[in-house]
């Protein structure tokens, strides 16, 4: 259930709003990476394509550069919120999952590490300097 909610949230942000592609291209150095010929393959499968045409490494690398790390955490908060709104007693289930299920524990620990590496100030500076006012809500939300 959490996976479904997280996936829906991620897709609604990244794929369903066509303005997200423009935000991504303004807020990250994705376009510059494409011109640098880093790696053995082009950064995109189709040069004219959107997010879905990007290869994984340029997608992650672009977000890492901005210290935003969006692909790692988007959706996870919505999944937790959904489970807690469904029944506040689910916090105990989540604690048990963390304690007893290595996959869940490693996932939560990974997110914690990514949040520690992130820097909202740097991400906000990228947005302030590079993103048009009409798209800044992506970074603010």
Domain count, the chain: 1
Q: Per-residue pLDDT for 6 more than 90?
A: yes
Average pLDDT rounded to a whole number, residues 120-129: 94
Tokens representing 96?
């048990």
Convert 12-78 into a string of H (helix), E (strand) and C (coil): HHHCCCCHHHHHHHHHCCHHHHHHHCCCCCCCECCCCCCHHHECHHHHHHHHHHHCCCHHHHCCHHH
Instruction: Report pLDDT for 41.
Output: 63
Domain range enclosing 91: 2-140
pTM above 0.85, yes or no: no
Q: Per residue in 76-114, pLDDT tens?
A: 999 999 999 999 999 999 999 999 999 999 999 999 999
Cα-Cα-Cα-Cα dihedral of 3, 98, 119, 8, to 10°? 10
């Amino acid at each position: 259930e959490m996976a479904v909610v997280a996936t829906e949230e991620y897709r609604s942000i990244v794929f369903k709003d066509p303005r997200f592609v423009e935000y991504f291209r303004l807020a990250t150095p994705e376009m510059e990476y494409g011109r640098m010929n880093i790696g053995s393959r082009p950064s995109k499968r189709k040069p004219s394509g959107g997010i879905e045409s990007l290869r994984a490494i340029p997608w992650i690398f672009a977000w890492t550069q901005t210290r935003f790390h969006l692909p790692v955490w988007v959706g996870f908060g919505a999944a937790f919120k959904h489970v807690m709104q469904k029944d506040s007693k689910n916090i105990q289930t989540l604690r048990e999952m963390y304690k007893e299920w290595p996959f869940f524990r490693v996932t939560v620990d990974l997110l914690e590490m990514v949040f520690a590496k992130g820097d909202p100030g740097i991400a906000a500076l990228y947005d302030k300097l590079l993103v048009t006012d009409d798209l800044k809500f992506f970074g603010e939300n």
